[in-house]
């Protein structure tokens, strides 16, 4: 008797096997995980082995991975920080969407294409892949950087722009239905604003008490279910209102960014996000219509290269205007030049509204999918061309914590700062537990005889395994400011007894650490810069004791000024005023001391002259 596998089981077997085989091979070849997922989709899809046929159903389901990703991004972005980004979001984001749409539409009209088709194609092709861009930025730790924040602001505006773009499509039809009633543009806009307002108000008033009530059950799996239910419910509400599911999830994440349950939510949702994002990339690979490529290869190639080049030109100019460094411009430009998953929705909706025909929609979808396949490959080429260091994967046999540790000190990060701290402790006979998330650094440290474990200290389970419950001090020495703040938040929430010693990259991070109640903060270059300044003064002729006195006076003044500025770090204009006043006071004080020193020296010379002539 033969037993057939259920569809869900056979599908799961195919997807998991494809990912497990393709992704490690792709990473071993230096191509990254996204290329592996896309290639797996091509192989198992309708134009490959044909193991999966219902591509659109899989794609719609897997889009939830993008929703979860935006929710997690929102969890890391406090409302205050989002408010600070309002100008980049609506300014640079609006400039990117409007500029790319106008440029692409003008080029299409100049090529003799009907203006309606040109506008629809331009609206879809102007958008970028949020999933691929954020995945790449996250893998490379670029999200906290200026270029990463700029790219994120533009991507977020694109999600907001999805609402008016879909509302505009019926108006572009050759013979739009006259329906000034409830489904009109004004009603849709009012409904959109109402739904977003309801999510914001409901999130403020209801989410925290609800999560607190669920947490009291002390059932971890129910809290995980509640976290998923929260995201699914908000996505469903946004979908029913005709809005972007990802935008709704992002707003929910922002509302919970200051919640005491933020880290628990992040820990619970992260595994689902990773799996569903992988499935989404596989579905994108399966959606590439090889038939269209074979029938009209030159046209598809022209469309792909044309819109990538036009967008790249505009984005490069935008990057220069935004002040993005030349080193980061190629990645910024490429990540936003590619097509995006929302273009699939735009072209399908346009075909349904009879703005474009089905064949044209298929060609445009194929062009977008090909651009999403090409972008990671071009990124690898850019890395090798500019010799940008790629993110290293953990090699086989990398030492990880597999048993609970007991030590008075945990050091998170074994870079140039953390190494000095750890080596000083070792010299005093203390053996800290050292965690490092860079596989190359772990391997190098091990070769010199240091016991360093591979792992990300912003994971709650890893901190528990490292012995945070019994440890006395946690040293946060990681390079990434955002990751450092995440570790601090995690430690203060779950291990309040730990004394925190934290490295700060600059005064901005110092202020954010002070906001979290951290007292033992060291700016990474402050003391070494002072010593270099002393050396310069000595080389210019200052006696060593005088150079040391000047450096110590500057140190005391700078630390006091930093405390004064902290009280105003939310008010930029007042902050600048305090900084200028402090610098002026120091210069005036130093000038008075120099005058007094010269007067004393002149007095001593005069007294010596008098003694010689007595």
Q: What is the pLDDT of residues 509-548, one digit of tens each?
A: 888 888 888 888 888 777 778 788 888 888 888 888 888 8
- Residue 17: inside a domain, yes or no? no
Which of 386, 411, 426 terminates a domain? The answer is 386
Stronger pLDDT, 39 or 47, i.e. the higher one: 39
Reported as a single tens digit per residue, the pLDDT across 71-102 is 776 776 666 666 777 777 888 888 888 999 99
309-to-241, 329, 362 alpha-carbon distances in Å: 35, 15, 21
Q: Which residue's entry shows tokens 């739009």?
A: 176
Residue 594 has pLDDT above 50, yes or no: yes
CB 268 within 8 A of CB 223: yes
Instruction: Give the C-alpha distances (Å, rounded to integers) separating 11 from 3, 52, 279, 535.
Output: 16, 7, 11, 68
Backbone angles phi, psi at 62, to 5 degrees: -70, -20
CB atoms within 10 A of CB 192: 18
Between 37-46, 60-69, 580-589, the lowest mean confidence (pLDDT) is in 60-69
**530 and 513 inside one domain:** no
Q: Domain span at residue 214?
A: 61-173+181-386
Question: Which residues in 332-371 are b (16+ Cβ under 10 Å) and which e?
Answer: bbbbbbbbbbbbbbbbbbbbebebbeeebbbbbbbbbbbb
Which residues, 6+ apart, have CB-to-CB distance to 281 below 8 Å? 34, 37, 38, 41, 131, 132
Q: What pLDDT shows up at residue 187?
A: 66
SS3 at position 476: strand
Local confidence band at 390 (pLDDT 50, 70, 90 cut-offs): very low
- The answer to whether residues 431 and 562 belong to one domain is no
CATH number of the domain that residue 513 is part of: 3.40.50.720
The residues with which 37 forms a beta bridge, in sequence order, are: none
Give pLDDT, residue 597.
Answer: 67
The answer, yes or no, to whether residue 500 has pLDDT greater than 80, is yes
- Taking the C-alpha atoms of residue 416 and residue 438, their distance in angstroms, rounded to an integer, is 13
Judge whether residue 420 has pLDDT over 80: yes
CA atoms within 13 A on the CB side of 593: 11
Please check whether residues 308 and 427 belong to one and the same domain.
no
Residue 102: other Cβ atoms inside 10 A = 14
- Judged by DSSP in three states, 59 sits in helix
In the predicted model, what is the mean pLDDT of the chain? 76
Question: CA 330 to CA 335: how far, in whole Å?
Answer: 9
CB 401 within 8 A of CB 451: no
Tell me the whole-structure pTM to 2 decimals: 0.53
Q: Is the CB of residue 199 less than 8 Å from the CB of residue 252?
A: yes
Question: What is the domain count for the chain?
Answer: 3
**Residue 570, φ and ψ in degrees, nearest 5:** -85, -15
CA distance 400 to 98: 48
pLDDT at 2: 52
Of 110, 99, 40, 139, nearest to 394 by C-alpha is 139
Beta carbons of 163 and 344 less than 8 angstroms apart: no
Same domain as 466, residue 329: no
CA distance 241 to 252: 16
Q: Do 90 and 136 fall into the same domain?
A: yes
pLDDT of residue 159: 73
pLDDT in tens, 316-330: 988 888 877 777 788
Residue 139 in domain:
yes
On the CB side of 499, CA atoms within 13 Å amount to 6
Q: Among 386, 419, 434, identify where a domain stops.
A: 386
**pLDDT score, position 425:** 85
pLDDT tens, residue by residue, 218-265: 777 777 777 777 777 877 777 777 666 767 777 777 777 666 666 777
Task: State the average pLDDT over residues 581-588.
Answer: 75
Q: Do 212 and 199 lie in a common domain?
A: yes
| Domain assignment present for 6 | no
Q: Is the dihedral of CA 116, 117, 119, 120 positive or negative?
A: positive
Q: Which CATH number is 334's domain given?
A: 1.20.1530.20
Is residue 73 within 8 A of residue 253, CB to CB? The reply is yes
C-alpha of 307 from chain center: 26
User: Is residue 34 in some structural domain?
Assistant: no
Same domain, yes or no, for 506 and 549?
no
The beta-carbon contacts of 511-514 under 8 Å, at least 24 apart in sequence, are: 511/566, 511/569, 512/481, 512/485, 513/485, 513/488, 514/566
Same domain, 71 and 209: yes
CA angle 370, 374, 380 (to 5 degrees): 170
Judge whether 152 lies within some domain: yes
User: Quick check: is 31 in a domain?
Assistant: no
Whole-number Å distance between alpha carbons of 254 and 465 = 29
Same domain? For 218 and 260 the reply is yes
Distance CA 238, CA 245 (A): 5
Q: Which H or E element spans position 522?
A: strand 520-523
- Tens of pLDDT, residue by residue over 248-257, are 777 777 777 6
Per the CB < 8 A criterion, the answer to whether 348 and 125 are in contact is: no
Same domain, 464 and 548: no
Task: Indicate whether 351 and 457 sit together in one domain.
Answer: no
Summarize pLDDT for 268-312 with one digit per residue, the tens: 777 776 777 777 777 777 777 777 777 888 888 888 899 899 999
CA distance 467 to 469: 5
* Domain boundary residue, one of 351, 386, 421: 386
Residue 123 half-sphere exposure, CB side, CA atoms within 13 Å?
27
Q: Are both 96 and 230 inside the same structural domain?
A: yes
Whether 607 has a pLDDT exceeding 70, the answer reads: no
- Say if 50 falls within a structural domain: no
Is 605 a domain residue? Answer: yes
């Amino acid at each position: 008797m033969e037993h057939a596998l259920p569809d869900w089981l056979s599908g799961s077997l195919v997807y998991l096997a494809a990912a497990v085989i393709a992704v490690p091979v792709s990473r071993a070849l230096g191509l990254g995980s996204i290329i592996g997922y896309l290639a797996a989709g091509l192989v198992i899809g309708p134009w490959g082995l044909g193991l999966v046929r219902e591509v659109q159903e899989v794609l719609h389901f897997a889009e939830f991975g993008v929703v979860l990703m935006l929710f997690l991004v929102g969890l890391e972005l406090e409302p205050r920080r989002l408010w600070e980004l309002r100008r980049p979001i609506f300014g640079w984001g609006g400039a990117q969407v409007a500029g790319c749409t106008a440029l692409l539409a003008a080029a299409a009209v100049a090529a003799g294409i009907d203006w309606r088709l040109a506008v629809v194609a331009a609206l879809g092709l102007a958008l970028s892949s949020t999933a691929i861009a954020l995945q790449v930025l996250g893998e490379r730790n670029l999200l906290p950087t200026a270029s990463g924040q700029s790219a994120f602001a533009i991507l977020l505006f694109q999600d907001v722009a999805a609402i008016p773009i879909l509302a505009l499509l019926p108006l572009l039809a050759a013979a739009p239905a006259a329906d000034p009633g409830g489904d009109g543009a004004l009603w849709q806009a009012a409904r959109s604003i109402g739904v977003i307002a309801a999510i914001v108000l409901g999130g403020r008033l209801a989410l925290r008490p609800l999560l607190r009530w669920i947490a009291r059950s002390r059932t971890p799996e129910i809290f995980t279910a509640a976290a998923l239910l929260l995201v699914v419910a908000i996505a469903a509400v946004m979908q029913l209102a005709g809005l972007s599911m990802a935008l709704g999830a992002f707003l929910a994440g922002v509302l919970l960014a200051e919640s005491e349950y933020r880290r628990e939510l992040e820990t619970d949702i992260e595994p689902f996000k990773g799996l569903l994002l992988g499935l989404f990339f596989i579905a994108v690979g399966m959606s590439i219509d090889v038939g269209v490529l074979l029938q009209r290869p030159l046209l598809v190639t022209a469309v792909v290269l044309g819109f990538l080049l036009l967008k790249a030109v505009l984005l490069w100019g935008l990057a220069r205007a935004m002040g993005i460094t030349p080193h980061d411009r190629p990645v910024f430009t490429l990540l936003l030049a590619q097509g995006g998953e929302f273009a699939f929705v735009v072209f399908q909706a346009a075909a349904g509204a009879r703005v474009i025909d089905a064949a044209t929609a298929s060609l445009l979808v194929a062009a977008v999918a090909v651009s999403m396949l090409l972008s990671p490959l071009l990124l690898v080429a850019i890395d090798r061309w500019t010799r940008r260091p790629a993110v290293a994967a953990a090699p086989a046999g990398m030492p990880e914590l597999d048993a609970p540790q007991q030590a008075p000190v945990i050091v998170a990060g074994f870079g140039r700062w953390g190494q000095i701290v750890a080596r000083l402790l070792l010299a005093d006979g203390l053996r800290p537990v050292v965690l490092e998330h860079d596989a190359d650094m772990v391997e190098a440290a091990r070769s010199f005889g240091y016991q360093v474990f591979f792992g990300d200290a912003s994971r709650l389970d890893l901190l528990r395994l490292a012995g945070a419950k019994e440890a006395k001090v946690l040293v946060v020495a990681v390079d990434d400011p955002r990751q450092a703040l995440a570790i601090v938040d995690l430690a203060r929430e779950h291990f309040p007894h730990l004394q925190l010693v934290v490295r700060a990259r600059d005064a901005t991070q110092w202020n954010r650490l002070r906001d979290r109640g951290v007292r033992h903060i060291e700016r990474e270059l402050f003391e070494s810069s002072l010593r270099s300044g002393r050396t310069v003064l000595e080389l210019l002729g200052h006696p060593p004791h005088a150079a040391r006195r000047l450096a110590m006076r500057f140190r005391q003044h700078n630390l006091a000024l930093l405390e004064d500025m902290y009280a105003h770090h939310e008010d930029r204009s007042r902050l600048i005023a305090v900084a200028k006043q402090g610098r002026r006071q120091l210069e005036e004080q130093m000038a008075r001391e120099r005058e007094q020193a010269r007067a004393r020296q002149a007095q001593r010379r005069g007294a010596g002259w008098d003694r010689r002539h007595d």
